A = this chain, B = another copy of it.
Amino acid sequence: MRKFKVTFLPDQKEVEVDEGTSLLQAAEKADVYVNSICGGEGSCGECRVQVLSGKVKSDRYAIGFFSTEEIKSGYVLACQTPVEDNLQVMVPARSRMEMEKIITEGIPTYGEPAEEYLPKAPRKAAAVTEPLVKKVYLELPHPTMSDNVSDIDRIVRELEKQLTFSSFDMPLGCLQDLANKLREHDWKVTATVARHNATGRILQIEGGDTTARSYGLAVDVGTTTVVAQLVNLKTGAVLGVEANHNLQARYGEDVISRMIYACGKGSPHLLQSAIVTNINTLTRALVKEHGIETRDILALVAAGNTTMTHFLLGLTPCSIRLEPYVPTATVYPQALAKDIGININPEGIVEVLPSVASYIGGDTVAGVLACGMGNQSEIKCLIDCGTNAEIVVGNNEWLVTCSASAGPAFEGGGTRFGMRASLGAIEKVEINGGRVNYQTIGNAKPRGICGSGIIDCIYELARNRIIGQDGKFELSMSDPRITTEDGIPQYILAFPEESESGKAITITETDIANIIKSKGAVFAALKSLMDYVGLKFTQLDTVYLAGGFGSSLNTRKGVAIGLLPDIDPARIKFIGNSSVTGARMALLSGPAFEATRHIARRMTNIELSNYVPFMNEFIAALFLPHTDGKLFPSVHF
């Protein structure tokens, strides 16, 4: 078999491979990291590389992923390109390891959650004592003629001493070989017991003491990103976290377009298969990284919006998007991993946190659990902002919630140079006397602007009177950074010589209009909820910010542009990915899991889509900070 040499740039790593080896495999052999989500199926487009010298076959997958210009420049998908020549290959920044900073936990760390935002009791105390699945080691007395109860009764008799379930059941599959297992292991076995309502469901019996090997996954099934934490069910420790992009993106950017696809020319099964692949990819990575066995992962708790939940469980989502917005279910049955193709222990359980309604899902319920607002007498607010913003207001007596479409602006979409919060994204901006200072993620050359950078930008432009409170440019101003392209005014944040691409990075008047709509929708939704319950913003004890907003968001500037209510910035707290945090709390604590059902039942959903007060609030909010200045007494441009 012929062999060829492949050199990967910019690392200058060389490797010799057999003819026909894929570039992705070659990179792996050369220890060069190339992104890949789909596992080499040519479907995610993450493994783009540029062949600088040497011949490769044209890539039939390329058309969907590259522009004509890129194809001419030698761009291919590494996983779809066999090596048939000596090659020089450039791995561009976006295909390299420096992935997007997906928010995988309570701000700011990746590992242990930010303790201060979590109610102590369920996470700490209950966590370690009552996870959804628990292993119990049993040394059973040998049967005798005077004690010859059945094998399963012998087990249950011991379990009743150690666990508090009102009854136990065991699926037929586990019963079938029970007799042999007990006798082969001299009546010393470990029972894995899952909470199933008030019943203990015996998932498996293993020989010997395996209680040390007991893991679970907490998963945030986001429309855009999927985050999984690997948790030790015995100690409660988070062992690791992984994140990837929701593979459903190939079927549509947002939940609406994916539902249309699933209920039209596609099918819900395709969407289910995509998200299951996401989870399995994350699981594989976590298992490898932490040297554990897949079969020792015994439970998965997922939180997602109602549509994602329907897709994950294979439920038809078609009525969710149509008035009167009816989901198939809001409380979901406990499933077994094997039933939905999740590659953990096949008898392991999958619980999906309950939804409130079609547009208030388990991710929001998880957020309420994570911040603890439903347990406290003070009135608090949770704003979980992604493409949709879900808002919850309430305390231990009542909870109201609503959902509004914020558009993609805060997530880096819908603006010309918008990008996700990944390497090279401008995340902070200050403008003073015509000079622009910015900070990029990873201190790399700027490649675009992420959500927090865009909020900074709007604020700085308004503060410097470069734009008016209506978001329009003051074209009379003389500033070399203000230019016009195709008749649309724009502001240059980074000149061509500063950026990675060699092109200027700008923010246009259209971008600004889009952002004002986004912030207007979020604020109007919050204002509508507050009015609904007859409260003033000053009565809010705390505002929790979850989801897309990272800790890099400047809350003062967020208030100033009218995105956040004008309260003491000290009372605005980031809780990061509260969806995964809530999922983990439920995984580690039966009472916390039960609490999610209680929370979901308690939440009153205000449907904004035909709600006139919201329409009026929205129009009033299309101004910086707001047409009603009295709502923002601290803001002065």
Contacts and interface: CB of A to CB of B under 8 A. Distances in A.
Interface of A: 143-145, 147-153, 167, 169-173, 175-180, 183, 197, 268, 313-319, 323-330, 333, 335, 339-340, 357-358, 607, 610
A457 to B, nearest CB: 39
A324 to B, nearest CB: 4
A41 B636 CA distance: 91
B340 A178 contact: no
Nearest to A357: B148
A172 B335 contact: yes
A333 B151 contact: no
A183 B318 CA distance: 11
5 contacts: A150-B328, A151-B327, A153-B329, A178-B316, A183-B319
B357 A151 contact: no
B333 A177 contact: no
A590 to B, nearest CB: 17
Taking the full assembly, how many copies of this chain does it contain? Answer: 2
Given A151-B319, A152-B328, 10 more contacts: A148-B324, A148-B326, A150-B327, A150-B328, A151-B327, A151-B329, A170-B333, A172-B335, A175-B333, A179-B318
A153 B358 CA distance: 13
A152 to B, nearest CB: 5
A175 B328 contact: yes
Contact of A177 (B177, B316, B327, B329): B316
A342 to B, nearest CB: 12
A335 B173 CA distance: 10
A379 to B, nearest CB: 27
A255 to B, nearest CB: 16
Contact of A316 (B149, B176, B197, B318): B176
A576 B295 CA distance: 50
Given A148-B357, A319-B183, A607-B145, A171 B326 contact: no
Given A175-B315, A313-B175, A319-B183, A143 B326 contact: yes
Contacts of A171: 333
Given A148-B326, A150-B328, A313-B175, A318 B180 contact: yes
A330 B149 CA distance: 8
Among A167, A171, A175, A326, residue most surrounded by chain B Cβ atoms (within 10 Å)? A326
A173 B358 CA distance: 20
Contact of A340 (B172, B316, B325): B172
Contacts of A339: 172-173
Contacts of A147: 324
Contacts of A610: 145
A330 B145 contact: no
A150 B607 contact: no
Contacts of A183: 319
A340 B163 CA distance: 31
Contact of A179 (B151, B169, B319, B335): B319
A153 B316 contact: no
B316 A179 contact: yes
